[in-house]
Amino acid sequence: MDTRKNDPSTNGRDGKGKFVPGNRCGHGNPFGGQTAKLRAAMVHAVTPEDMAEIIRRVVANAKEGDLASAKTVFAYCVGQPHQEVASDTTDLDAMVIAKKRIHAKGNLDFAELMNR
């Protein structure tokens, strides 16, 4: 019998945090095998041409204004948006950009650079 399940120092888990055999919570996913078979069936049924056709349809739907399709296209092509910029650094960022423009362009009016 595995005594690790009753050992309070491991809390019924191994060194990687996984449940050890005999842990009452570690039964696994009862549908895992069935899910794996269904995923395998999907992979075998869908061809690269099917995927290309589906992707073209999602892009077309996005162009027609479908928001869910547009989000999908952006998520896969551009990536998830970054968190909003903290407002207390916005002015500092603008000053850094202006300084770079002054350095690149020579003597320009600072106010003009800030309004670009």
Distant-in-sequence, close-in-space partners of 19: CB < 8 Å, separation ≥ 6: 12, 13, 25, 26
* Per-residue model confidence as pLDDT tens digits over 26-59: 677 788 899 999 999 999 999 999 999 999 999 9
Flag whether pLDDT at 23 surpasses 80: no
pTM for this entry: 0.46
- Amino acid 10: pLDDT: 61
Distances (CA, A) of 97 to 27, 82, 91: 57, 20, 10
Task: In whole angstroms, give the CA distance from residue 116 to residue 114.
Answer: 6
Residue 76 pLDDT > 80: yes
Q: What is the mean pLDDT of residues 91-96?
A: 75
Cα gap 27→50, rounded to integer Å = 37
So what's the pLDDT on residue 4? 46
Residues forming a β-bridge with 13? 19
pLDDT at 85: 58
Structure tokens at 83: 């968190």
